[in-house]
Amino acid sequence: MKIVNRRKAPSDFLQKFLPRELHLLKKVNHCHVIQLYEIFEFGSKVYISMEIAGHGDLLDYIKLRRYLPEFSARSFCRQLVSGIGYLHELDIVHRDLKCENILLSDKNEIKISDFGFARETLTGNLINTFCGSAAYAAPEVLQGQAYKGLGLQSIRLFVK
């Protein structure tokens, strides 16, 4: 459950990022993308009910184990490529793929989450705004070049 307090959240988040995230979460349905169940408002708070990712995020998972066995790394990469490929089929660019935004279910299945910076792209249109985490960004993004769907580029940083 994600809870957003409208009184404490920045106005640009409430007007731009939250509506975009909720719109995209309603649109997606894939085994490697976090599933939205319900959105409801009560008072000044927005409650976003989503699929439970009982094993936390990928960064904590790796820190706890200190390394990933090759078979786990391969499995995670396949699942990540599947989820990103699905998003790209819908013309959705995540723009903040990092270990902290990749959750793991109780069955250790990848769940791409946190669509706050994500956006839809129109066919043929490029994006030229930078957002997300520089450590995970593709070289094109860091160089200020226009881009479309570089999520797969970010995977190279997960497998190093």
DSSP class per residue in 32-96: TBPPEEEEEEETTEEEEEE---TT-BHHHHHHHHSS--HHHHHHHHHHHHHHHHHHHHTTEE-S-
Which of 114, 111, 154, 151 minimizes the C-alpha distance to 13? Answer: 114
Phi, psi of 94 (to 5 degrees): -70, -45
Backbone φ and ψ for 84, nearest 5 degrees, come out as -65, -40
Amino acid at 83: G
Task: Read off the tokens for 149.
Answer: 């769907």
Q: Would you mind telling me the total number of residues written for the chain in this entry?
A: 160
* 96 labelled catalytic: yes
Q: Which of 12, 57, 96, 114 is catalytic?
A: 96
Please identify every residue annotated as catalytic.
96
